[in-house]
Amino acid sequence: MKRSFLIVCLLTVILSCKSEVKQVTSDQDSDVKTTSILDTLSLKLNVNEKWIANAETHEGVLKMDAIISEFKKNKKSDYKGLGETLSKQTSYIIKNCSMKGEPHDQLHVVLIPMLDEISILREEDHKAKSERAVENLEALIQAYFEHFQL
């Protein structure tokens, strides 16, 4: 189920954005992660400047950040529900993607690992793994804001 969801998400990203996806090296097993998820990203700046994101993408990531903040603030524990909500938000981002070229490719460097972490939330029953997925998502969202602007 996890693999089929990931395959569908990746195909959606590829077809929706009408651009090639650069392969991203990431550690798929949450138990084995000993370094930060950010260590696996090859995300870079645009000659020391942030990449320009389209409004819908930026809005979507802002909403994801707010959803996670609200989840943590209210000390919720429905990680599967959180995963479903975040999945809808990433679907919005993918559907409304109008970015092209290198900014688009760089977005995929951070978006694909986000999809992986959301998949963990949607399917995992182990609380510690779900908590780690939320931490990873927060780090990925922070990386987005460090590398992209509206």
Structure tokens at 100: 């092209």
Residue with the larger pLDDT of the pair 12 and 19: 12
Distance CA 150, CA 146 (A): 12
| pLDDT (tens digit per residue) in 16-26 | 443 333 333 33
Residues 6+ apart with CB under 8 A from 120: 30, 83, 129, 130, 133
Task: Indicate the pTM of the whole model.
Answer: 0.74
Compute the average pLDDT of residues 61-89.
97
The CATH number that domain 53-150 falls under is 1.20.120
Q: Distance between CA atoms of 16 and 36, rounded to whole angstroms? A: 29
pLDDT for res 1:
57
Three-state DSSP at 74 gives: coil
